[in-house]
């Protein structure tokens, strides 16, 4: 089977072309633009800028640091809570009970919903005049007219819960798949040895899930870092840039201000941060070595 032939190259050729044009070349040009003054609305100023964009970013742009800090907080909280709830959910729907297939389909379903649609649904749910809080206050719970999205004290919590609604199924699906690949005899052996339910979880289930957990948290951390749809449409980064992540900041530079040079410098920074984070994470977690 494994002979020298042109066949594998022919098979990956279309993929290579697509990746070259739409991934490799753009990355190269982002690096190039980051060294330029490049603003579509002020073309007469365009030209070589050297490291000016990066200097401005590091020393002269509080919003860069603020958005970076918010990104870190956002990723940490979202991934942590999604993993925890996703694991619990996976364990629950891995049990045997009546209606399990239906329950799985229902609790996983928000995974298929887009960020924009999630925003739409939660704006309806949280709106102050006809939303869930208004309804609850009619039943005597809470106070009427609560606008959780307009209030700087509650907007972050609302954002976190909204993203959890859509994000938990991702972990639940991946972890459920991995739970099902655990050989049953391991549990049988543990039971025969008199291991309690909790003991079986910590010494059979968790070690088996380790690699899946490392990989899914890393993928999800990158994904949540890059996630723009939901925040862009739900809060737009507000109020007062409170919920602006780094990619959202970039997207606004691109879509609203058309400042491509500075936006590219921010992009390069974001890419490097993600790369270092990923390498460090895989190293520290000893991915691939079974405990």
Partner 1 sequence: MTETLTRPPVDTPPPPRQPTKRRRRAVAEEPGKPWMIHIPLVLYLLFTLIPFYWMLVFAVRPSGSTQLVPWPISFEHFDTVWNDIGFGVFFYNSVVMGLGVLVFVTILSVMGGYALARFKFRGQRVFLLAMLCSQFIPGAMMLIPLFVIFKGLGLLNSLTGLIIAEVAFQLPLSLILMSGFIRNISVELEEAAMVDGCSRLRAFFAVVLPQLKPALVAVGSFAFIGAWNQFLFALMFATRQDKFTLPVGLSYTLGEFNTDFGALAAGGVVAAVPVVLVFAVVQRFLVQGLSAGAVKG
Among positions 35, 87, 159, 176, the unique one binding partner 1 when judged by CB under 8 A: 176
Least distance in angstroms from the C-beta of 203 to partner 1: 15
Kindly identify the residues of this chain, within the stretch 181-220, that bind partner 1 according to CB under 8 A: 181, 183-184, 187-188, 191-192, 197, 211-212, 215, 219
Least distance in angstroms from the C-beta of 78 to partner 1: 16
Q: Residue 156: helix, strand or coil by DSSP?
A: helix
State how far the Cα of 257 lies from the Cα of 263, in Å rounded to an integer: 9
**Close Cβ partners of 111 (under 8 Å, ≥ 6 residues apart):** 166, 169, 170, 173
Q: Which stretch binds partner 1 (CB under 8 A): 46-54, 60-68, 74-82, 265-273?
A: 265-273
In terms of DSSP H, where are the helices of the chain?
A: 7-19, 25-33, 52-59, 62-94, 100-108, 115-126, 132-138, 155-180, 184-192, 197-200, 206-226, 229-234, 246-252, 260-284
Considering the rule CB under 8 A, would residue 165 count as an interface residue with partner 1? yes
Contact 267, 195 (CB under 8 A): no
Kindly identify the residues of this chain, within the stretch 81-140, that bind partner 1 according to CB under 8 A: 88-89, 92-93, 95-97, 101, 103-117, 119-125, 127, 130-132, 135
From the centroid of its chain, how far is CA 85?
15
Kindly identify the residues of this chain, within the stretch 219-238, that bind partner 1 according to CB under 8 A: 219, 222, 225-226, 228-229, 232-233
Least distance in angstroms from the C-beta of 55 to partner 1: 20
Total residues interacting with partner 1, rule: CB under 8 A = 103
Two tokens, residue 145: 């007219």
Least distance in angstroms from the C-beta of 84 to partner 1: 12
Q: Which stretch binds partner 1 (CB under 8 A): 27-35, 51-59, 60-68, 74-82?
A: 27-35
Least distance in angstroms from the C-beta of 284 to partner 1: 17
Two tokens, residue 223: 């994904």
Q: Which is nearer to partner 1, 143 or 180 (CB)?
A: 180
Write down how long the chain is: 291
Q: Residue 191: helix, strand or coil by DSSP?
A: helix
Considering the rule CB under 8 A, would residue 25 count as an interface residue with partner 1? yes
Kindly identify the residues of this chain, within the stretch 48-87, that bind partner 1 according to CB under 8 A: none
Q: What is the CB neighbour count within 10 angstroms for residue 155?
A: 19
Considering the rule CB under 8 A, would residue 291 count as an interface residue with partner 1? no
Asked if omega into 181 is within 30° of 0 (cis), the reply is no
Q: Which is nearer to partner 1, 77 or 132 (CB)?
A: 132
Considering the rule CB under 8 A, would residue 173 count as an interface residue with partner 1? yes
Q: What is the CB neighbour count within 10 angstroms for residue 238?
A: 15
Q: Which stretch binds partner 1 (CB under 8 A): 41-49, 61-69, 74-82, 144-152?
A: 144-152
């Amino acid at each position: 089977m494994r002979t020298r032939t042109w066949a594998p190259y022919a098979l990956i050729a279309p993929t290579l072309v697509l990746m070259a044009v739409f991934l490799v070349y753009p990355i190269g040009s982002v690096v190039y633009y980051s060294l330029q003054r490049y603003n579509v609305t002020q073309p007469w100023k365009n030209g070589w800028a050297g490291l000016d964009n990066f200097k401005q970013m590091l020393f002269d742009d509080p919003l860069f640091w603020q958005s970076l800090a918010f990104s870190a907080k956002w990723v940490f909280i979202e991934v942590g809570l999604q993993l925890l709830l996703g694991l619990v959910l996976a364990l629950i729907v891995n049990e045997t009970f009546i209606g399990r297939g239906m329950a799985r389909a229902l609790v996983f379903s928000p995974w298929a919903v887009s960020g924009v649609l999630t925003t739409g649904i939660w704006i309806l749910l949280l709106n102050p005049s006809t939303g869930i809080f208004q309804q609850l206050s009619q039943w005597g719970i809470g106070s009427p007219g609560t606008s959780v999205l307009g209030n700087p004290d509650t907007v972050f919590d609302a954002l976190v819960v909204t993203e959890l609604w859509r994000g938990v199924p991702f972990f639940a699906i991946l972890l459920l798949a991995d739970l099902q690949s655990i050989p049953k005899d391991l549990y049988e052996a543990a039971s025969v040895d008199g291991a309690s339910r909790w003991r079986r979880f910590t010494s059979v289930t968790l070690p088996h899930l380790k690699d899946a957990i490392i990989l899914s948290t890393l993928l999800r951390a990158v994904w949540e870092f890059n996630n723009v749809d939901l925040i862009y449409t739900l809060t737009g980064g507000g109020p007062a840039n409170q919920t602006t992540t780094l990619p959202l900041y970039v997207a606004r530079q691109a879509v609203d201000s058309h400042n491509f040079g500075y936006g590219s410098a921010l992009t390069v920074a974001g890419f490097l941060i993600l790369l270092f984070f990923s390498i460090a994470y895989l190293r520290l977690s000893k991915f691939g070595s079974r405990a």
